[in-house]
Amino acid sequence: MPIDIEKDDVETALRKLNAREGSFRLLEQINKLGSWEVDLKTHKSIWSENSYRLYDIEPFSIEPTLEYFLNHLLPEYLPRAQQKIKELLATHEALTFQGKIRSETGVVKDILINAQALFDANGIALKLVGTTQDITAKVKLEQKSQELSSIIENSASEIYVVDYMNDKYLYVNKAACDALGYTKEELLKLTIFDINKELTPEMVEHLKNSYEITKRPYISNQSIHTRKDGTSYHVQSHIQKIYYDSKEAYVIFDTDVTQNILVSELVEKQSKMLQHQANHDPLTDLPNRTQFQQKLSDAIANAKKHNTTFALFFLDLDHFKDINDSLGHHVGDVVLKEFAKRLKESIRHEDTLARLGGDEFTIILHNIEKLTDISTVANKIITAMQTPIPIASNELHITTSIGISIYPEHAQDKSNLLKFADTAMYKAKAKGRNTYQLFSAGMSAHAYKRVIMENSLRIAIKEEQFRVYYQPQINTIDEQLRGMEALVRWKHPTMGLVSPMDFIPLAEELGLIVEIDRIVMKQAMKQFALWYKNRLYPGKLSLNLAMQQLHKSDFSTVLFETMAQCDFKKEWLELEVTETQVMSNPELSIKRLKQIHANGIDISVDDFGTGYSSLSYLKKLPLSKLKIDKSFINDIPKDEDDIAITKAIIALAKSLNLGLIAEGVETQEQKEFLLENGCECIQGYLYSKPLPADEMTKFLQTF
């Protein structure tokens, strides 16, 4: 649309343009934006097409870097640019930088950069993101426009000339009309307040005063333009005071930055989301361990300041591992979410509930006035768990064990408060679970002993302080040795022999049983190979196999490599698995045991009759033998129930064509009963207690 002015005015304007050496022609390319990002870890950058064009190079013709930008800055702007980068890395706020670059064609350009750093949850800067705008034309216009002679009608930017006194539009360009949906005639009847609905006279007065005070060539502002149809968009304004037709006025160069705003809002939203994820458990959406630590610090500081008391609850689900192993982790997740929901419903809004990980949860119970407040909440939680959780067509009954420490009575620091609550929780488990325990000094001693035992156990594994004892297995018909069971003993350098009952449960809990199993396996196989080499014929080696070992993906490899290293034959080996352990994950256990059995190794079930196995699973196991648990043998032949159970196990083994062995046989009466009822192989003190290798060698020589 042509400018609606008289011919004389046009000639006057052209003369002024020529006099000013065509400076305003540069406005045709004003406000071209290029977006970019810099990965602070890899130092790689991504530029939009316009970012390349700012340097007068073909898009994507080079690999962009932060150094490329710094190298093209004029030297006098480099220190300030480097300082701005440091500020970006130290603050979460967006910053701007204006400077000059020399393009690849030698052209010096003024640029305006808007940038922001993105941080991770630990406050480490990950990326720099922003836009670069070629403002060369605007800068030259601002520097030279003491009197505004003309405005290029077809500039891509919205350009407005406004009466300084009454804020009415004196001139608008085509881009402004197109952006707002008004004709030029309509806009010239309006004031800036008609299209800037959020703008007030007070805000405009403040901008004018800022301009007068700072004495800068221009000032910047962001506002929202409202179109004729009622829709709106964001603009970035550069405002400069000028004279227009001998009248005091100001010129506004507006750029639509709606997309930039949307990107910034998206970045902010994603930043908040990442921050939330960094501080919350993804499954339950509760505060995670990181946020819990901060909440606990805040609780201590607040209680100290106001001389108040709070309680720290440490909770976990009883037998949760069994749920995961038998029903799968997807069911475990459902249980954890329901557990978290019930916990949240059992406490006040101002209390803090967090998930530390796994099935471990904590509660900070603020402003405790009396001990009954603690017991009331603990009992409320335990009661809340009594309602079964429906899972598909089944119902799961869950319970929780709770340990409680109190600030400042038990401790005044985070570490001990958490440690003491954890210790009390283990005491609750020892008392039968589904209960709560307040911390006491005696528990601390017990926890200390447990830590000492754990450290000693790790040293024992490293130094291989374990010894293998052997207990013979005898066929009572011909009184011949059929094999022996390998039993682990811990020979501690100061405590002497440590009972397996004192360290095996801890080793299983800590996941150390696998390493102990492998030490025992290697020692026993070496010893058996030596006995065979010396023609002592020890029969089959029965090795107890922990499920953690069986479920290791490399178990078969380790087993056969150890056999090869020890010159141990597979026909000498029998692996014993317990009934209860197999049923914790029957499908996986059956699969792994079948693989081992297919390689010629016998499998027996230890402690049979004490677990909860299903016959449908039992018949799928590649078994060669059942071992009757000693708990059924102890009171034979006096206890009728034990007699009935033992006979039933023997009958079951016969029907499945399985071998039999009874353990814990100590009397002649027990031996005769077993032999009479079809169990010929026995193991127990009647023949021998477990013996170390040297004593077992003597036994073999004389047997």
Write the CA distances from 589 to 326, 344, 600, 621, integer angstroms: 11, 37, 17, 9
| 492 close to 466: Cβ distance less than 8 angstroms | no
The whole model's pTM is what? 0.46
- pLDDT at site 614: 53
Token pair 């819990």: residue: 292
The answer on pLDDT for 306 being more than 70 is yes
The length of the chain is 703
Taking residues 496-503, what's their average pLDDT? 86
Mean pLDDT across 224-248: 89
pLDDT higher than 70, residue 11: no
Dihedral sign for Cα atoms in the order 327, 329, 332, 334: negative
**Contact assessment for residue 663 and residue 625, using Cβ atoms and an 8 Å cutoff:** no
Q: Give me the pLDDT at residue 22, please.
A: 37
Local confidence band at 278 (pLDDT 50, 70, 90 cut-offs): confident
Banded model confidence at residue 444, pLDDT cuts 50, 70, 90: low
Whether 38 has a pLDDT exceeding 80, the answer reads yes
For range 440-465, the mean pLDDT: 77
Confidence of residue 356 (pLDDT cuts 50, 70, 90): very high
Angle between helices 441-463 and 414-430 (to 10 degrees): 90
pLDDT at 179 over 70: yes
- Strand pairing of 436-438 and 400-407? parallel
474-488+522-702: CATH superfamily: EAL domain (3.20.20.450)
Mean pLDDT of 641-667: 91
Please check whether residue 344 is in contact with residue 353, taking contact to mean a CB–CB distance below 8 angstroms.
yes
More confident: 504 or 586? 504
pLDDT of residue 324: 79
Greatest mean pLDDT among 43-52, 326-335, 558-567: 558-567
Position 438 pLDDT exceeds 50: yes
For residue 37, the model assigns a pLDDT of: 92
In sequence order, what DSSP letters do the residues of 181-213 get, joined into one string?
A: T--HHHHTT-BHHHH-TT--HHHHHHHHHHHHH
- Tens-digit pLDDT profile for residues 152-177: 566 778 899 999 989 999 999 988 99
Asked if 171 and 151 touch (Cβ cutoff 8 Å), the reply is yes
Among the ranges given (166-170, 277-281, 356-360), the one the predictor scored with the smallest mean pLDDT: 277-281
Please determine, for residue 229, whether its predicted confidence score (pLDDT) is greater than 90: yes
Lowest mean pLDDT among 105-119, 165-179, 600-614: 600-614
The average pLDDT across 69-80 equals 93
State pLDDT tens for residues 501-525: 888 888 887 788 899 999 999 999 9
Residue 482 CB coordination number (10 Å): 19
Q: How many CB atoms lie within 10 A of CB 533?
A: 9
> How many CA atoms are closer than 13 Å to the CA of 59, on its beta-carbon side?
9
State residue 149's pLDDT score. Answer: 47
Query: What does the alpha-carbon distance between residue 322 and residue 283 come to, in Å, rounded to a whole number?
Result: 19
Q: Where are the domains of the chain?
A: 32-134, 140-262, 285-439, 474-488+522-702
At 448 the pLDDT is 59
Residues in Cβ contact with 166 at an 8 Å cutoff, skipping those fewer than 6 apart: 191
pLDDT at 153: 67
**Least confident span in 274-288, 382-396, 454-468, 599-613:** 599-613
Residue 148: the pLDDT is 45
Q: Find out if CATH 3.30.450.20 is the number for domain 140-262.
A: yes
Q: Which residues of 635-656 are buried (b: 16+ CB within 10 A; e: fewer)?
A: ebeeeeebbebbeebbebbeee
Angstrom distance (rounded) from CA 501 to CA 657: 33
Q: What is the mean pLDDT of residues 282-298?
A: 93
Is residue 493 predicted with pLDDT exceeding 80? yes
Looking at residue 609, its pLDDT comes to 63
Q: What percent of the chain has pLDDT over 70?
A: 90
**Residue 83's pLDDT is what?**
92
Query: What's the CATH fold of domain 32-134?
Result: Beta-Lactamase (3.30.450)
pLDDT the model gives residue 8: 57
| Of the candidate ranges 38-52, 70-84, 572-586, 591-605, the one whose mean pLDDT is the lowest | 572-586
pLDDT over threshold 90, residue 587: no
22-36, 113-127, 202-216, 579-593: segment of lowest average pLDDT = 22-36
Fold matches, 32-134 and 474-488+522-702:
no
Select 285-439's CATH number: 3.40.50.300, 3.30.70.270, 3.40.50.2020, 1.10.10.10: 3.30.70.270
- The tens digit of pLDDT for each residue in 307-334 reads 999 999 999 998 888 787 777 888 889 9
For residue 162, CA distances in Å to 113, 165, 191, 242 come to 27, 9, 8, 10
CA nearest to 629, candidates 547, 613, 614, 616: 613
d(CA 218, CA 237): 10
Query: In this structure, what is the dihedral angle of CA atoms 71, 73, 256, 194, given to the nearest 10 degrees?
Result: 160
Determine what percent of the chain is predicted with pLDDT higher than 90.
Answer: 49
Instruction: Of 81-90, 207-216, 599-608, give the lowest mean pLDDT range.
Output: 207-216
Answer whether residue 39 shows pLDDT above 50.
yes
Query: How far apart (Å, rounded) are the C-alpha atoms in residues 85 and 115?
Result: 9
Q: Which of 221, 223, 195 is nearest to 208 (CA)?
A: 221
Q: Provide φ and ψ at 70, rounded to 5°.
A: -65, -40
Q: What is the mean pLDDT of the chain?
A: 86
Higher pLDDT, 475 or 138: 475
For residue 443, pLDDT beyond 90: no
Q: Which of 227-241, 315-329, 476-490 has the lowest mean pLDDT?
A: 315-329
- pLDDT confidence band for 583 (50 / 70 / 90): low
pLDDT at 689: 94
Specify the DSSP class assigned to residue 76: G
Tokens representing 590 are: 């059956």
10-19, 500-509, 523-532, 646-655 — which is least confidently predicted?
Answer: 10-19
pLDDT one-digit tens code per residue, 186-202 = 999 999 999 998 888 89
Two tokens at 432? 């039968």
